[in-house]
Amino acid sequence: MSGLGIWTYLIIIFLMMTGLYMVISSSNLVKKMIGLNVFQTSVFFMYISFGYINGSSGPLYNENVDLYSNPLPHVLILTAIVVGVATTAVGLALTIRIKESFGTIEEDDLHKMDSSL
Amino acid sequence: MILEQLIDVFLLAFLAIISIAIVRIRDVFSAVMLFGIYSLVSASLFMMLAAADVAFTEAAVGAGISTILMLATLGLVGRDREKTLVKKKISLLPLAIVVVTGATLVYGIVDLPPFGAADNPVHTHVAPRYIYQSMSEIDVPNLVTAVLASYRGFDTLGEVVVIFTAGIGVLLLIGGRRRREEETSDE
Amino acid sequence: MNDHVILRVVGKFLIPYVMLFGLYVQFHGDFGPGGGFQAGVIFASAFVIHTLLFGVRATQKIAPEWILRVVASAGVLLYAGVGVVSLFLGANYLDYNVLGAYPVAGQHLGIILVEFGVGLTVTSVIMLMFFTFAARGESEGDAL
């Protein structure tokens, strides 16, 4: 595999792990949502890099072009992006309700309040 | 050719630096702003990989709608500083999990097909039919729209229902008027 | 926002162009990058700009919530309805070949209708979500 390919895949794995670390270990709920979005965007990037062909143009039909990138990963990722924003919106709405009920969005305080009920 | 690869390398490194900054920053407002920048750099990388529709959607949705919804949430919730983890022993466990998972994935890179080769398995089986026969069957120049709306129309119907359901969910959760004095439920 | 004259003037100037661009992306999704989702998000962002400049109450006079709910449901109904029309005309569900005089015309009509339904739903759902988030902190009757 070429150097650019290895560099791309390594950075994608690094981004995935950064997003996963933010989801697991952040104590602020909004930062957890940011971490989830970072993770999702890195997975989209991985799919698009699978569908790329060297020297191809985009999937737009043109008489002069005979090498197109694969349109199938693009379609899957379009759907996934919209589903991701839907998940983020519902998660943020839940965060607002948690803040109104408990008064805080830090996870350690929420655990203490929840276990003392 | 060499300039394109150089741009790719630098944009990827920039993306990694931004993600480290998002993890380390404790002010949540700055983290949301950095997330907007992350989305925009991802959109430009999608353009470098010849995916125009996806770059369009990622820039509009990620840097537009997601960022503005997070900022609206911060306006309602309050711009706190994230507390650092008090117990040191527990903060090593997420790092260990992440390092082990990352090492396993890096080990899996060895088995991947070459980056950008034209005879990868993903380009066989159904993609040549979508590319070469869609003009005679559907006659729409944008191949992504042809696949999205016609060949894979069921998936798009499911997606529209998903975003409709998310709208209903948000309306149910925070759609009513907040009452401070009365105890009546507003759902 | 009373003392932000520059923002108000520039915003008022930009909003119609953003809407026009959204409509362009919607209906030229066949010939260039674009389609229902991108157009829906861009069209909704024009209303988001208006909300940021003039407040939630002023924007909700232009786009009341009940209209947005009806439009969101109408988009999903349009998409599913195109499939049901295909069923009534004798083919499979969401088979566009029977919608026109010959299959390619049917595909064109089916794709335009379906993308329009997607654009309607995405626009109204994103506007609804943003209005809900923005109006939540207004229980005292104070403007944004």
Asked if B65 is an interface residue toward chain C (Cβ–Cβ < 8 A), one would say: yes
Instruction: Name the pTM for this structure.
Output: 0.90
How confident is the model over B87-109, as pLDDT tens digits?
A: 444 578 889 999 999 999 999 98
Closest CA to C56 of B185, B75, A91, A83: B75
Chain B residue closest in CA terms to A90: B170
pLDDT at residue number A116: 67
Residue B118: the pLDDT is: 82
Give the tens place of pLDDT for each residue, B18-69: 999 999 998 899 999 999 999 999 999 999 999 999 999 999 999 999 999 9
The fraction of chain B above a pLDDT of 70, given in percent, is: 88
Query: Considering only CA atoms, which of B162, B67, B187 is closest in space to residue C118?
Result: B162
Min CA distance, C88 vs chain B (Å)? 18
SS3 B81: strand
The interaxial angle of helices B127-137 and A71-102, nearest 10 deg, is: 100
From the candidates A77, A82, A83, A87, which should be mutated to test the interface with C, based on the most C CB atoms within 10 A?
A82
Query: What's the farthest any 2 CA atoms get from each other in chain A?
Result: 70
B9 at interface of C, judged by CB pairs closer than 8 A: no
Q: What pLDDT, on the 0 to 100 scale, is given for residue A47?
A: 92
- In chain B, residues with a C-beta closer than 8 Å to the C-beta of A11 are 12-13, 15-16
Q: Is C138 part of the contact surface with chain A (CB cutoff 8 Å)? A: no
The 10s digit of each residue's pLDDT in C97-144 is: 998 888 899 999 999 999 999 999 999 999 999 999 998 876 544 444
Contact between C8 and C91 under an 8 Å Cβ cutoff? The reply is no
Interface mutation target, options B6, B9, B17, B23, chain A, most CBs of A under 10 Å: B23
Q: What is the pLDDT of residue B178?
A: 63
Contact by Cβ (8 Å): C36, C117: yes
Beta-strand ranges (E) seen in chain B are: none
> What does the pLDDT read at residue C1?
53
State the smallest CA–CA distance between residue B127 and chain C in angstroms. Answer: 19
Distance between CA atoms of residues C101 and A88, nearest Å: 43
A76-91 tens-digit pLDDT: 999 999 999 999 999 9
Q: How many helices (H) and strands (E) does chain B have?
A: 8, 0
Please check whether residue C29 is in contact with residue C108, taking contact to mean a CB–CB distance below 8 angstroms. no
pLDDT, residue B68, reads 93
The radius of gyration computed from the CA coordinates of chain B, to the nearest angstrom, equals: 22
Q: Who's near A63: CB < 8 A, 6+ residues apart?
A: none
Our CA-based measurement puts residue C90 at a distance from the nearest CA of chain A, in whole angstroms, of 28
Bigger pLDDT: B78 vs B168 = B168
Read off the DSSP letter of residue B85. Answer: P
Distance, in Å, from the CA atom of A35 to the CA atom of A18, rounded to the nearest integer, reads: 8
C114 or A103, which is more confident? C114
